[in-house]
Amino acid sequence: MNELGPVVRADDTVAIFGGPYSNLEATQAFFEEMARLGIPSERVICTGDVVAYCADAAATTALVRASGCRVVMGNVEENLAAGAADCGCGFEEGSTCDRLSMAWFAHATAQVSADDRAWMGRLPRRIQLEIGGYRFAVVHGGVDAINQTIYASTDAAIKTTEIGKTGLDGVIGGHCGLPFTQCVGAGLWHNSGALGMPANDGTPRVWFSVFRRANDGLAIEHRALHYDHATAAAKMRRAGLPEGYAAALGSGILASADTLPTAEHSAGGVPLRESQVLFRRTSPEGSPLQRAWPVPAA
Q: What is the CATH number of the domain that holds 28?
A: 3.60.21.10
The enclosing H or E element of 186 equals none
pLDDT, one tens digit for every residue, the chain (298 residues): 345 689 999 989 999 999 999 999 999 999 999 999 999 999 999 999 999 999 999 999 999 999 999 999 999 999 999 887 776 665 555 555 556 666 888 999 999 999 999 999 999 999 999 999 999 999 999 999 999 999 999 999 999 999 999 999 999 999 999 999 999 888 999 999 999 999 999 999 999 999 999 888 899 999 999 999 999 999 999 999 999 999 999 999 999 888 889 999 999 999 999 999 999 876 544 343 456 888 544 3
**Which pLDDT value is given to residue 4?**
61
**Which pLDDT value is given to residue 297?**
43
**Assigned domain for 39 exists:** yes
Q: Are 226 and 220 in contact (CB under 8 A)?
A: no
**In terms of residues, how long is the chain?**
298
Task: Give the count of domains, the chain.
Answer: 1
Torsion of CA 158, 164, 166, 172, to 10 degrees: 50
Rounded to two decimals, the pTM is 0.92
**Assigned domain for 84 exists:** yes
**Which pLDDT value is given to residue 1?**
36
**Assigned domain for 298 exists:** no
**Assigned domain for 270 exists:** yes
CA neighbor of 170 nearest in space, from 143, 202, 145: 143
**Assigned domain for 2 exists:** no
Pairing between β-strand 292-293 and β-strand 180-184 as defined by DSSP bridges? antiparallel
Determine the structural domain holding residue 219 and report its residue range.
7-293
**Assigned domain for 93 exists:** yes
Rounded Cα gap, residues 9 and 177, in angstroms? 25
**Assigned domain for 118 exists:** yes
**Assigned domain for 138 exists:** yes
Give 147-182 as a DSSP string. Answer: T----TTS-HHHHHHHHHHHTSSEEEE-SS---EEE
Query: Phi and psi at residue 127, in whole multiples of 5°?
Result: -130, 140
**Which pLDDT value is given to residue 88?**
61
**Which pLDDT value is given to residue 90?**
56
